[in-house]
Amino acid sequence: MIDLRSDTVTRPTPEMLEAILAAETGDDCFGEDPTVRRLEERVADLLGKERALYFPSGIMANQAGILAQGEAGTEVLAEARAHLVHYEEGSVAAHGGMSLRGVPTATGLMTPDELRAALRPPSPYHPRVSILALENTHLDSGGRVHDPEEMVQVAEVAREAGLSVHLDGARLWNAAAALHLTPDRVAAPADTVMTCLSKGLGAPVGSMLAGPAPVVERAWRIRRRLGGQMRQAGLLAAAGLHALEHQLPRMHEDHARARRLAHALSALPGLRVVPPETNVVMVDVSGTARAPGHLLEALAREGVGMVPFGATRIRAVLHREISDAQVEEAGAAAARILQPD
Ligand SMILES: Cc1ncc(COP(=O)(O)O)c(C=O)c1O
């Protein structure tokens, strides 16, 4: 199976498994796991933040970042198609009593004007907005990357209005690679940043929340409240450290393969492909007059896995386990389905 469903499907390499076996561990609940500490210090350093905290998942780390900065009865603004709005089970509402308002944008990447338009004039009759949550890369738009200058400006508009800025940087590493910037430059406009080790970096489990020490201390308690505290988590953290060392430098290879796959697919009748900026290939199939599910079944029969994305789109994500030859084969399989002769 050429598994392009997500960059979360990767399995640990033999070298990563060796790093896991060699990990020094302790009870992280007592703050005694040296490998978790090392990972947290490494990520804080890479992201240019005071502290970082290890989480079992991105959804939990997003929540903790937001709950640690907002309060019940206030609003969280996020781009209307954000992961936070559509894929996180309303968690900040369910667990933090905050309402989540989706801000419609032209491209998925919020501009300062789009944020200004969403902010109401101060009034005792409206809920206070406490947090702006950005997403970089922005998944729904096809893994697009925020322009760094524009992101600084959006964050400035948010701060002028008294908001904290949280960044869902599940794929921040991909954004940094695409921009040829260090990760701290991409993280800089945000107060808190969530980032995943389990996606393009290829670790089996784990996400991080980074930010100012007092916020991360509050997030520690929230993680505990959510049941996300782990014990000898150094076994998993070792995989994260290994991934940062060995996978971070090769993100651009996935981006190049995404461009090649997009190029092959865009030549096929009825497919409209967003030119990839990172490792996501988003394909609108409405021009084929076939339902996404129907095409996906045909692709699966050819040994290619992709997923539906809404009513008219399918998605492929490139990752460490996909080779150039498999990209070619995936393109050829799509051609056999859409151009039978
Ligand atoms: C943009 C984005 N944010 C957050 C998450 C949540 O991460 P996790 O699956 O580790 O909870 C994902 C997962 O796919 C994502 O794509």
Nearest CA to ligand 1 atom 5: 58
In DSSP notation, 254-284 reads HHHHHHHHHHHHHTSTT-EEPPPSSSEEEEE
Report the alpha-carbon distance of residue 39 to residue 52 in Å, rounded: 9
Return the ligand 1 atom nearest residue 57 CA: 10
The separation between CA 21 and the C-alpha centre of its own chain, rounded to angstroms, equals 28
79 lines ligand 1 (CB under 6 A): no
For 57, the token pair is 């998942």
Instruction: Spell out the per-residue pLDDT of the chain, length 341, in tens.
Output: 999 999 999 999 999 999 999 999 999 999 999 999 999 999 999 999 999 999 999 999 999 999 999 999 999 999 999 999 999 999 999 999 999 999 999 999 999 999 999 999 989 999 999 999 999 999 999 999 999 999 999 999 999 999 999 999 999 999 999 999 999 999 999 999 999 999 999 999 999 999 999 999 999 999 999 999 999 999 999 999 999 999 999 999 999 999 999 999 999 999 999 999 999 999 999 999 899 999 999 999 999 999 999 999 999 999 999 999 999 999 999 999 998 76
Return the ligand 1 atom nearest residue 6 CA: 14
Instruction: Confirm if 35 and 23 have CB atoms less than 8 A apart.
Output: yes
Q: What angle is formed at CA 163 by the lines to CA 159 and CA 166, rounded to 5 degrees?
A: 100
Rounded to two decimals, the pTM is 0.97
Same fold, 14-247 and 250-338: no
In DSSP notation, 35-71 reads HHHHHHHHHHHHHT-SEEEEES-HHHHHHHHHHTT--
249-269 pLDDT, tens digit per residue, is: 999 999 999 999 999 999 999
User: How many angstroms does the Cα of residue 10 sit away from the middle of ligand 1?
Assistant: 15
88 lines ligand 1 (CB under 6 A): no
Residue located via tokens 């907002």: 70
CATH 3.40.1110.10 matches 250-338: no
User: How many angstroms does the Cα of residue 341 sit away from the middle of ligand 1?
Assistant: 40
| Paired sense of beta strands 75-79 and 129-135, if any | parallel
58 lines ligand 1 (CB under 6 A): yes
Per-residue pLDDT at 200: 95
Q: Which CATH architecture has domain 14-247?
A: 3-Layer(aba) Sandwich (3.40)
Q: What is the residue extent of each domain of the chain?
A: 14-247, 250-338
Return the ligand 1 atom nearest residue 59 CA: 11
Return the ligand 1 atom nearest residue 171 CA: 1
User: How many angstroms does the Cα of residue 8 sit away from the middle of ligand 1?
Assistant: 9
DSSP 122: P
User: How many angstroms does the Cα of residue 81 sit away from the middle of ligand 1?
Assistant: 13
206 lines ligand 1 (CB under 6 A): no
Instruction: Confirm if 131 and 76 have CB atoms less than 8 A apart.
Output: yes
At 167 the three-state DSSP class reads: strand
Cis-peptide, bond into residue 105, ω within 30° of zero:
no
137 lines ligand 1 (CB under 6 A): no
Ligand 1 pocket test, candidate residues 135, 138, 168, 186, most atoms within 8 A of CB: 168
